[in-house]
Amino acid sequence: MKKRSPIAVALLGFPTLGIYWLYWLVKTKGEMNSKGEKIPTAILIIIPIVNIYWFYLYSKAVNNVTKGELSTAVTFLLIWLISFIGYAIIQDAFNSLVEVSPAPAPQAQPPQAQPVQASPTPPAKVQ
C-alpha cells in the first residue's frame, strides 16, 4: 500500500469537487487487488444501488488487508456516514501497513592489514 497523508486524503476532495476521492478509491482498490483481493471495477461507484454492493466489497477488502484493524462494518459505516473523514481513517490504517524501509546495510570495510610480527632471531652459534 502506498503511504499517503490522511489529512490530504480528507481535504483534497473539496477543491476537486470529489474527484480526488474517486481517484483515491480507484487507486486503493488497485493496491488491494494487487494483494489478492477481488474488488470489481470502480465504474460501479457511479451506478445507484449497485454502488452499495461495491462499497461493501471494498470494505470487506479493507478488513482483509488490514487484518481486522478495520472491520467490514466499521469501514462501510465510515464510508457512508462520514465519507471524507472515513477515507482519512482508512488511509491511516493503510499507512500502518507500510513497512518502514530497512536502514541501509553498513558498507563493508576493506580488510585491515595485519601488523607484521618480527620472527624471533635464532641464537647465534658459538664457536
Q: What is the pLDDT of residues 52-83, one digit of tens each?
A: 999 999 999 999 999 999 999 999 999 999 99
Name which of 74, 77, 82, 75 is nearest 28 in CA terms: 75
Q: What is the pLDDT of residue 3?
A: 94
Q: Which residues of 64-101 are buried (b: 16+ CB within 10 A; e: fewer)?
A: ebbeebbebebbbebbeeeebebbbbbbbbbeeeeeee
C-alpha cell at 126: 658459538
For the cut 60, the answer to whether the pLDDT of residue 102 exceeds it is no
CA distance readout (Å), 117 to 33, 113, 120, 121, 124: 65, 12, 9, 12, 20
Q: What is the pLDDT of residue 98?
A: 84
Q: What is the pLDDT of residue 101?
A: 47
Q: What is the pLDDT of residue 49?
A: 94
Q: Residues near 123 by Cβ (< 8 Å), separated by ≥ 6?
A: none
Backbone angles phi, psi at 13, to 5 degrees: -70, -25
Q: What is the pLDDT of residue 108?
A: 62
Backbone angles phi, psi at 77, to 5 degrees: -65, -40
CA distance readout (Å), 20 to 8, 15, 16, 54, 93: 10, 9, 6, 18, 19
Q: What is the pLDDT of residue 1?
A: 86
Q: What is the pLDDT of residue 117?
A: 67
Q: What is the pLDDT of residue 116?
A: 64
Q: Write down the pTM of the prediction.
A: 0.75
Q: What is the pLDDT of residues 4-38, one digit of tens each?
A: 999 999 999 999 999 999 999 999 999 999 999 99
